[in-house]
Amino acid sequence: MTDAPSIDALLSVMVQLRDPETGCPWDVAQDFSTIAPFTVEEAYEVADAIRRGPEPSMLVDELGDLLLQVVYHSRLAEERGWFRFEDVAAAVTAKMIRRHPHVFGDADASQATDIWEGQKAAERAARAETGALAGIATGLPSLTRASKIAKRAARVGFDWPDAASVLGKLDEETAELRAELEEANPARLADEVGDLLFVLANLARKLDLDPEVCLEGANRKFERRFGAVEASLATQGRAPADATLEEMEEAWREAKRKGL
C-alpha cells in the first residue's frame, strides 16, 4: 500500500472531473444537494461492509467511496470560495484535539465524557444553536434521531426512570392507536404510529440498545425466514402467491423451529 496515490492525487482527479470544459458532464452538473444522498448511501455501505466481516479489500473500497464524498463536497465549496479540503482536515484535527484534553492536555481521563459533551455544547452555542435539542442532524435515520432527541432531553432530567416505565407508555400509545383504527383517519393513524415508534426507540435506549441495529436485525431475520418459506414452497413447485396464508405460516414456524 506504500505506493498508493496520495490524497493529493485524489484531489487532482476531482478537479479534473469538475472541469467545465474537459470534465465529466455528470460530475460537472452536480451540486451539494444532488451529492448529499450519495454521501449518506456510502456511509451505510461502509457500515454494511463492517457488519459483513469485515473483509479488508471490501472495507478499503467502501472507505474510499466515502472519502470521495468528502473530497467532492470540499471541491464544490472550493469552487465557491468557501473552503478547501485542507481546511476540512484542519478543522476536524483541531476539534479532536480540543475535545480530548485528557489525551492532548492535562485533563483527567475520568472526565472525558463530560469534557466531550461540554465542548459540543460550546460549539453549538458558538453557532447560535440554543436549547437542549439543538444541533441534532435532521438527515439521520428517524429511529436514530429519536434516540438522540430523547437522550438530549434526558440530560436535563426529562426522561422515564427505567425501561419498565417506557413499557407502560408503550401500552398507552398502543391503546391510543387501537382507538383510532375504527375511524381510520390517515393523519391520526400516522400520528399515533409515529408516537409508538418514538416510544420504541426510547425503550431501546433505556436498554442500552441501538434501535437501528435492532430493526436491522429484525429485517435480516424476516428475510431469512421468508426465504425459507419460499424455498419450502419451491420444493412443491409453488410460489408464495400460490399458497394460502396458513401454509405460509406453517413454513414460517418451521423456519423458526430451525433457528433461522
**pLDDT tens profile 120-151:** 777 767 776 778 888 788 878 899 999 999 99
Q: At residue 194, does pLDDT exceed 50? A: yes
Single-letter amino acid code for the residue at 189 = L
d(CA 102, CA 63): 29
pLDDT tens digit string along 176-188?
999 999 999 999 9
List Cβ neighbours of 255 (8 Å cut-off, separation of 6 or more): 224, 225, 228, 229, 232
Measured between alpha carbons, how far is 104 from 148 in angstroms, rounded to an integer?
A: 28
Angle between helices 211-234 and 245-257 (to 10 degrees): 110
Q: Containing H/E element for 29?
A: helix 25-29
Could you tell me the fold of the domain covering 7-98?
A: Helix Hairpins (1.10.287)
Supply the DSSP string of 225-250, one letter for each residue: HHHHHHHHHHTTT--GGGS-HHHHHH
* Percent of the chain's residues with pLDDT above 90: 72
Average pLDDT across the chain, whole number: 91
Of the pLDDT bands very low, low, confident and very high (cuts 50, 70, 90), residue 2 is: low
Mean pLDDT, residues 165-190 taken together: 95
Q: How many residues does the chain have?
A: 260
Domain boundaries defined on the chain: 7-98, 145-207, 214-257
Angle, helices 142-155/186-206, rounded to nearest 10 degrees: 60
Confidence of residue 1 (pLDDT cuts 50, 70, 90): very low
Is-same-fold flag (7-98; 145-207)? Answer: yes
pTM (predicted TM-score)? 0.62
At residue 215, the pLDDT reads: 93
Contacts 24+ apart (CB under 8 A), 133-137: none
- pLDDT digit string (tens) for 52-78? 887 899 999 999 999 999 999 999 999
- Mean pLDDT on 200-214: 93
State residue 100's pLDDT score. 87
Higher pLDDT, 158 or 132: 158
**CATH-assigned architecture of domain 145-207:** Orthogonal Bundle (1.10)
Span 214-226, average pLDDT: 94
Give the per-residue pLDDT at 4: 59
| pLDDT, tens digit (0-9, with 9 covering 90-100), for 238-257 | 999 999 999 999 999 999 99
DSSP string spanning 45-67?
HHHHHHHH---HHHHHHHHHHHH
Nine cell digits for residue 250:
406453517
> Cα(121)–Cα(156) distance, rounded to whole angstroms?
13
Confidence bin at 3 (pLDDT 50/70/90): low
Sign of CA dihedral 253, 255, 258, 259: negative
